[in-house]
């Protein structure tokens, strides 16, 4: 499962150095962390559903997920400061590479009518985000254990500052991007 880390250390670094003419080894783009987050919306008021979301995301990530709380009150959304609003988990190191390998080789091919992830998810600072519509595409999630289906956002945070280098890094890792231009 850690074959992606070995691939990064052996092949991907050399490709990036060649393509972008990088002289300083500290400037070679790398994957820093992966963040999986779920906004609970109306379900945040139901503690059973929120707990189910937390358990599901923990199962998917292989690491304990935390419940996020509102930072400030917003009357229009009937939201008070400190109320739970979602669930997130941040993956680094070995867990990050295990999740990335599982995402690329098992999960994304299971998505119905999958033609690649959008190329429009870059933020201008070298980070990439995309969403999945439901958690059932992950093999470890059992339909009988789900109270309500939900989507999730997956964010790749890289050490680079531009989207071109981040795109090439993720492409070399094997992220299946949709056809088109960056």
Query: What is the secondary structure of 44-89 as a DSSP string?
Result: GG-HHHHHHHHHHHHHHHTS--EEEE-SS-BGGGTB-TT-EEEEEE
Residue 2 has a pLDDT of: 56
Q: Write the CB contacts of 133 (distance below 8 Å, at least 6 apart in sequence).
A: 151
Q: Which segments in the chain show pLDDT lower than 50?
A: 1
Residue 87 has a pLDDT of: 92
Per the confidence metrics, is the pTM higher than 0.85? Answer: yes
Task: Identify the CATH class of 3-20+29-113+125-173.
Answer: alpha beta
Buried b (16+ CB within 10 A) or exposed e, 124-160: eebbbbbebeebebbeebeeeebeeebebbbbbbbeb
Domain ranges for the chain, please list them.
3-20+29-113+125-173
């Amino acid at each position: 499962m850690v074959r992606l880390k070995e691939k990064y250390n052996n092949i991907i670094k050399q490709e990036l150095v060649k393509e972008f003419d990088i002289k300083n080894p500290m400037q070679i783009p790398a994957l820093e962390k992966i963040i999986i987050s779920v906004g609970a919306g109306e379900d945040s008021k139901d503690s059973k559903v929120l707990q189910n979301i937390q358990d599901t995301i923990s199962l998917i990530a292989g690491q304990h997920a935390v419940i996020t709380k509102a930072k400030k009150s917003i009357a229009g959304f009937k939201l008070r400061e400190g109320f739970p609003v979602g669930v997130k988990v941040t993956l680094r190191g070995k867990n990050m590479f295990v999740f990335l390998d599982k995402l690329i080789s098992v999960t994304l091919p299971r998505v119905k009518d999958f033609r690649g992830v959008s190329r429009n998810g870059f933020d201008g600072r070298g980070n990439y985000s995309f969403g999945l519509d439901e958690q059932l595409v992950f093999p470890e999630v059992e339909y009988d254990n789900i109270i309500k289906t939900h989507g999730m956002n997956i964010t790749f945070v890289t050490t680079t500052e531009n989207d071109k280098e981040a795109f090439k890094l993720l492409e070399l890792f094997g992220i299946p991007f949709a056809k088109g231009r960056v």
